[in-house]
Amino acid sequence: MQLLLQVLFIALTAASVLLFYRRIKVISQLISMGATPLPNDQPGKRWANVLLLALGQKKMFSKPLVAVMHLIIYAGFIIINLEVAEIVLDGITGHHRLFLPLLGDLYTWLIRIFELLAAGVLLVCIVFLLRRNVIHIQRLAHGDLKGWPASDANYILIAEIILMSLFLTMNAADQQLQQTGDPHYPATGEFWVSGLIVPLLQGMSTDTLIWVERLCWWLHILGIFAFLNYLPHSKHLHILLAFPNAYYTSLDKTGKFINMPAVQQEVLYAMQPELTPANATPPDHFGAKDISGLPQKSLLDAFSCTECGRCTAACPANQTGKLLSPRRIMMATRDRMEEMGVQIQAKGKWEADGKNLLHDYITVEELRACTTCMACVEECPVGISPLNIITELRRSLIMEESNAPQEWNGAFSNIENNFAPWKFAPDARAAWTKEI
């Protein structure tokens, strides 16, 4: 029986890791469909961003209360994983509390800390559920999140609460079983949090306790495997991708827009035809109509977004009732990639489906409302730029479709002919000097 369980456990572990790996492969395939590769210059500064933004959560702390609560879940997630390592090894080897004889007293202290974190995570998840569903915090009750995104957020919080409860109940049953003197349950010393649950288990028979302990153990680890494979389909992928996203985030001043070397070269050849090489070919596209026209960083951005809505809450267009929501720009980009991913997984490659990110997922009205004020970029705790996507789509609209409001066409022609966006005679540019 024991051996059978071990084999079953190993099979389940392998299956969940394999499934996870396959999903990550699709995501990385999707990201690599982007136009410009991920930047890799100045690694020192990039690692500093990983430390500050991702690990240090620097930008989260502009909202200190939420930041502390988020930190508890985040620390809980990372640190409790050490305990998960033991659980996995126990499952494979058939041991119980494999690390206890190795660590002795330290083991007891570690579990005590894990339990405190687990209780913290549990409490914060309840508060976060209340913020979303009872208090209706504006950015979390926003129209962007109608349907699946709102459920996604709730599922994760509920899953965390269940996982933490299972972990604590398991430890409580284990402590009760230690009292029986069975050598399979070595004494660990008292745990503080699960110790509070122990009285609830008093009066249970040893057999029942063994069942409770095993059931919690299995449900907890199976829950983690399920979580692992739910993660890459969910907004919660940010717990992994926040790190690479912080690494690849722009190191330039926020005001510097991404250059288009192909256009720069076209203009150079137009101005100095003698420089044009014989084999020069004009670029085949301008800006982004679909995923393949966006920088790879923008695609990583879309997978890293956890839909917190700080960007949208700071967006002047959204705050004055315009259709634009920077968060929705990120969600629409990911939705488009998810759709492509389904096809890639089925057919092994991507074939055009007659749809595009531009128009089919993101409308002209949204793009036109952006003031390029960079509030969204400034706000994002993990270094996402919704503005880069807006700009690339605007470029496609203007340069491929000549789709601009009448007033913009007027301004463009004034800049071209009169060297100013207004229709003034260029000769009058210094007229003010006569009046001073």
Partner 1 sequence: MAITVKTMSDFAAAGTSPEILFWVGCAGSFDQRAQKVTKAFATILDKAGISWAILGKEEACTGDPARRAGNEFLFQMMAYQNIQVLNGYGIKKIVTTCPHCFNTLKNEYPELGGNYEVVHHTQLLQELIDGGKIKLEGGGSFQGKKITYHDSCYLGRANEVYEAPRKVLEALDAELVEMKRCRKNGLCCGAGGGQMFKEEEKGTNRVNFERTDEALATGANYIAAACPFCHTMLTDGVKNKEQENAVQVLDVAELVALQLVGSPTSENK
Q: Which residues bind partner 1 (CB under 8 A)?
A: 252-257, 259-260, 263-264, 266-268, 270-271, 286-287, 314, 316-317, 319-324, 365, 368-375, 377-378, 391, 393-399, 404-405, 407-408, 410-412, 415-416, 419-422, 424, 426-433, 435-436
DSSP code per residue over 8-53: HHHHHHHHHHHHHHHHHHHHHHHHTTSSSPPP-S-HHHHHHHIIII
Burial letters 97-114, b for 16+ CB under 10 A, else e = bbbbeeeeeebbebbbeb
Please say which residue, 39 or 223, places its beta carbon nearer to partner 1: 39
Please say which residue, 151 or 264, places its beta carbon nearer to partner 1: 264
Please say which residue, 178 or 265, places its beta carbon nearer to partner 1: 265
Q: Give me the least distance between CB of 383 and partner 1, in Å please.
A: 14
Comparing CA positions, the residue from 384, 329, 330 lying closest to residue 54 is: 384
Please say which residue, 157 or 324, places its beta carbon nearer to partner 1: 324
Quick one: the chain helix, strand, coil %, rounded to 5?
70, 0, 30
Please say which residue, 28 or 319, places its beta carbon nearer to partner 1: 319
Q: Give me the least distance between CB of 384 and partner 1, in Å please.
A: 15
Q: Give me the least distance between CB of 337 and partner 1, in Å please.
A: 22
Q: Give me the least distance between CB of 311 and partner 1, in Å please.
A: 13
Q: What is the DSSP letter of 354?
A: S
Q: Give me the least distance between CB of 270 and partner 1, in Å please.
A: 8
What type of residue sits at position 300?
L
What type of residue sits at position 374?
M
Please say which residue, 179 or 319, places its beta carbon nearer to partner 1: 319
Q: What is the DSSP letter of 421?
A: S
Give the torsion sign (CA, 165, 167, 169, 171).
Answer: negative
Number of H helices, E strands in the chain: 20, 0
**Helix, coil or strand: residue 362:** strand
Please say which residue, 340 or 376, places its beta carbon nearer to partner 1: 376
Measured from the Cβ of residue 54, the count of other Cβ atoms closer than 10 Å reads 24
Q: Give me the least distance between CB of 420 and partner 1, in Å please.
A: 4
Q: Give me the least distance between CB of 284 and partner 1, in Å please.
A: 15
Burial of 266 from C-beta contacts in 10 A (0-12 / 13-18 / 19+):
middle
Q: CA end-to-end span of the chain, whole Å?
A: 97
Please say which residue, 49 or 396, places its beta carbon nearer to partner 1: 396
Q: At what angle do helices 105-133 and 148-178 cross, to 10 degrees?
A: 150
Quote the distance between the C-alpha of residue 39 and its chain's center.
19
Q: At what angle do helices 148-178 and 64-93 cross, to 10 degrees?
A: 50
Rounded to the nearest 5°, which phi and psi values hold at 264? -55, -45
Distance of alpha carbon 297 from alpha carbon 330, whole angstroms:
12
Q: Give me the least distance between CB of 255 and partner 1, in Å please.
A: 3
Measured from the Cβ of residue 400, the count of other Cβ atoms closer than 10 Å reads 15
Q: Give me the least distance between CB of 403 and partner 1, in Å please.
A: 9
Please say which residue, 54 or 375, places its beta carbon nearer to partner 1: 375
Please say which residue, 21 or 432, places its beta carbon nearer to partner 1: 432
Q: Give me the least distance between CB of 305 and partner 1, in Å please.
A: 20
With contact defined as beta carbons under 8 Å apart, do 387 and 370 qualify? yes
Query: Token digits for 432?
Result: 């003010």
Comparing CA positions, the residue from 57, 85, 58 lying closest to residue 238 is: 57
Please say which residue, 104 or 405, places its beta carbon nearer to partner 1: 405
Q: What is the DSSP letter of 405?
A: -
Q: Give me the least distance between CB of 271 and partner 1, in Å please.
A: 6
